[in-house]
Each structure stands twice: as C-alpha cells, then as structure tokens.
C-alpha cells in the first residue's frame, strides 16, 4: 500500500513507519517537528519506499500520487506538550483531522485516527470499554487534548456516515518504549531518566492512581491489525489498544528503581488538575475483531526501554 502518516517523526509514528516499511509498503511521513524529531526517522532516509515532508497538517496538503491509507498521528501527546501547546493541540485535532480526512476522501483511501484513552477523562468505570462516554472536564487544563481527540472522533464518524470514507479509530492507552523523549513528561520516561541519574522519582498525589502500560511493539501490532482488518460496520467504531495489566503509579516507580539498580527515592508532589485516578482498557473488542492482545511483559519492555535511555543519556553527556 501507499500510506501517508502524519506525525510520522514522533515516538509512535516513527515506529509505525518502521513496521509498515518492513511489511513492504510505501510510506510518506508528514511532520512539522514541533514534538517529533528527524532523529527518529534518519535511518529511513535512504529507503526508496520512504519519503519525509516537513509540513503542518493544519494547512492545505498536496499529495500528487495515489494514496491507499492515511494514518493521522499528528498531535502533541504528552501532558507536558499539550499543556505548553494548547492552541496547536486543538488545531491539529480539529483542522488537522479535517484536512487529513479530506485527503482520504479525495484519494478514496482508508483513514485511521490515532485517538486516546484520554477521551474517557477521569473515568467512573474501570476498566474502560469503548461504549463508555467518559468523564471529561472540557474547560480544564487537560481539556485541550481530551476534547481535541473527542472532536476528531466525531469528525471521523461524520465523514464515514456522510461520505462513506472507510475509517478506523484506535484509542491508544499509555505506550512506552524506545524513541520516547527523555523529558516529555510521561510516567515511564520520567521515571527511567530520573532513576538512571539517581534523582528522586516524581510521583504525583499518593501514587495510588493506576495506569496500564503497553510496550510500543505490541501497540504498533494492534494498530496495524486495525488498519488492515476487513471492512465491516463494527470496525468503524473505536477500538481500545492497550495493556489491561493495571498498576499503581507508585508500583511502576519502585519497579523501575529495582530494574535500574538506582539509588533514587520517591518524591511525592501535588496531583495535577483532572489527573485520572484509574486507567485500564477493556480490550475485548480488539481480541474479537483483531485477534490482538499484548505479548511483551512489563519487565521485558522496561528492560529494553531502560537500555535505550541508558545509551541515549550516555551519548548526550
């Protein structure tokens, strides 16, 4: 297939580029590099089936050749990023989704939206099934990301129902692995960098709030399965892709201290506004529709991620 990936120089987007190229597809990567990095895709630059275009997808885009699939992954995705870039986050969720859906409609191609578990907000049910409508504060600090993705989902379904675009929506739960940025504000990257530097691990609130962490290879596998799944009315509705193994944030901090043999201690700070108390995906739809479930254990995934950050920090020092 000839595939366009927006946000393709980001953590998850670049891993998707790798997987799709390895499958034999042609990939055009669009990214304005606000949070992405050419370092993530530099190894692909000599591949004749890969092309990189520096472009802001909230602006008009022109792709001359045929396109079989459009994957919209462009967006600030870590709390630090979308709190520092609130307007850009809202624009890429609204205008960027509109532009990329327009491309898919014009090219008669399949469209896949990278949505998020944040559409559930601070959920009142646990685990979260796709049928749960969420508990989101639309005017809170996190609302710029939550509502951008909720609007994007609504727009995707409108294009499917009105124009017949073959659309897919993946709700991505906490994902970790190589190519995360060292100081992007995410739980795993923060803890690993702090542990490797023997700094205190910053845990917000009591640390009893829960998260579920999916290794990037598993996440990419689920996304690709959703992309290539056969057409059916059920496939157009959102699908959770994440690891249902639930841990308290305090537990993940202690596990990373153990795996890094760090001298770090845990430092507790005030809980940010609207920080979710629980986060765990119900993946029964993914299991039924895609035959997907995560395979990489937490210890294996953390080991690979720790080694990545160990090398990266050594090279930057």
Active site residues: 145
How remote is the C-alpha of 3 from its chain's centroid?
18
Segments in 48-108 forming alpha helices (H): 79-84, 86-91, 97-107
Contact 74, 92 (CB under 8 A): yes
Phi, psi of 25 (to 5 degrees): -80, 165
- Map residue 49 onto helix, strand or coil: coil
Task: Order the strands of the 239-241 sheet from edge to edge.
Answer: 50-54, 26-31, 2-6, 69-72, 110-116, 167-172, 239-241
Nearest-10 crossing angle of helices 187-196, 298-316: 60
Scanning the structure block, which residue is given the tokens 């630090």? 80
Dist CA 67 CA 26 (whole Å) = 10
Contact 247, 219 (CB under 8 A): no
């Amino acid at each position: 297939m000839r595939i366009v990936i927006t946000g393709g120089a980001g953590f998850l987007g670049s891993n998707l580029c790798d997987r799709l190229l390895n499958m034999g597809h042609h990939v055009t990567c669009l990214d304005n590099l606000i949070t992405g990095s050419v370092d993530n895709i530099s190894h692909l630059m000599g591949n004749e089936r890969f092309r990189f275009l520096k472009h802001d997808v909230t602006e008009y885009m022109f792709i001359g050749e045929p396109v079989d699939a459009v994957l919209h992954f462009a967006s600030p995705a870590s709390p630090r990023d979308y709190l520092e870039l609130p307007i850009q986050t809202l624009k890429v969720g609204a205008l960027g989704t509109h532009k990329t859906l327009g491309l898919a409609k014009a090219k008669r191609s399949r469209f896949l939206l990278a949505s998020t578990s944040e559409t559930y907000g601070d959920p009142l049910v646990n685990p979260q099934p796709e049928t749960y409508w969420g508990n989101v504060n639309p005017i809170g600090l996190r609302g710029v990301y939550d509502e951008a993705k909720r609007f994007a989902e609504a727009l995707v379904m409108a294009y499917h129902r009105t124009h017949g675009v073959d659309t897919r929506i993946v709700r991505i739960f906490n994902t970790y692995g190589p190519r995360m940025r060292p100081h992007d504000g995410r739980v795993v990257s923060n803890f690993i960098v702090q542990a490797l530097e023997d700094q205190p691990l910053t845990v917000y609130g009591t640390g009893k709030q829960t998260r579920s962490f999916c290794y990037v290879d598993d996440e990419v596998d689920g996304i690709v399965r959703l992309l290539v799944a056969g057409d059916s009315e059920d496939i157009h509705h959102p699908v959770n892709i994440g690891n249902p193994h639930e841990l308290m944030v305090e537990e993940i901090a202690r596990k990373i201290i153990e795996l890094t043999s760090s001298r770090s201690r845990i430092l507790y700070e005030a809980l940010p506004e609207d920080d979710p108390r629980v986060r765990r995906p119900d993946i029964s739809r993914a299991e039924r529709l895609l035959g997907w479930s995560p395979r990489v254990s937490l210890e294996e995934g953390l080991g690979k991620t720790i080694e990545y950050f160990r090398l990266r920090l050594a090279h930057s020092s």
